Amino acid sequence: MMALKKAKIIKWWGKVFILALLVVFIVRAFFAQSYTVSSPQMETALLYGDRVIVNKLSYGIRLPSTLLSIPFTFDSFLGMKSYSGALQLGYHRWFSSQIPRNDVVLYNNPVETEKPFDKRTLFLSRCVAVPGDTIEVKGADFFINGKQYITSPDLLLPYSFPLLAKDTLLSVFKQMNIVPRNLSVDSVRGYLVQSKYEAFLVNQRLSDSLQIKLNTDENYSYQLLVPSKGMTVNLTDENRMLYASIIKDELGDDVKNGHYIFKNDYYWLLSDNPEEGTDSRIVGFVSEKYIIGRASFIWYSSDENGKRRGSRCFTSVK
For residue 78, the 8-state DSSP code is T
With pLDDT > 70 as the criterion, what percentage of the chain qualifies? 97
Residues 6+ apart with CB under 8 A from 141: 148
pLDDT in tens, 258-288: 888 999 999 999 988 877 778 898 888 999 9
pLDDT in tens, 146-158: 888 777 777 788 8
User: Given pLDDT bands bounded at 50, 70 and 90, which one contains residue 70?
Assistant: confident
The model's pTM: 0.81
- Whether the CB-CB separation of 267 and 129 falls below 8 Å is answered with yes
Domain ranges in the chain are 32-133+269-318, 156-214, 230-263
- Whether the CB-CB separation of 142 and 152 falls below 8 Å is answered with no
pLDDT > 70? residue 141: yes
- Count Cα atoms within 13 angstroms, Cβ side, for 40: 13
Cα pseudo-dihedral 228, 234, 239, 241, rounded to 10: 80
Residue type, 284: G
User: Given pLDDT bands bounded at 50, 70 and 90, which one contains residue 1?
Assistant: low
User: In whole angstroms, what is the distance from residue 284 CA to residue 243 CA?
Assistant: 9
Smallest CA-to-CA distance from 154 within 21, 313, 302, 42 is with 42
The CATH architecture that domain 32-133+269-318 belongs to is Ribbon (2.10)
Classify domain 156-214 at the CATH topology level: Alpha-Beta Plaits (3.30.70)
The per-residue pLDDT for 43 is 86
Average of pLDDT values for 32-46? 90
Q: What is the DSSP string of 226-288?
A: ---TT-EEEE-TTTHHHHHHHHHHHHSS---SEEEE-SS-EEEEE-S-TTT--SHHHH-SEEG
Q: Sign of torsion, CA 194 37 51 289?
A: positive
User: Given pLDDT bands bounded at 50, 70 and 90, which one contains residue 241?
Assistant: confident
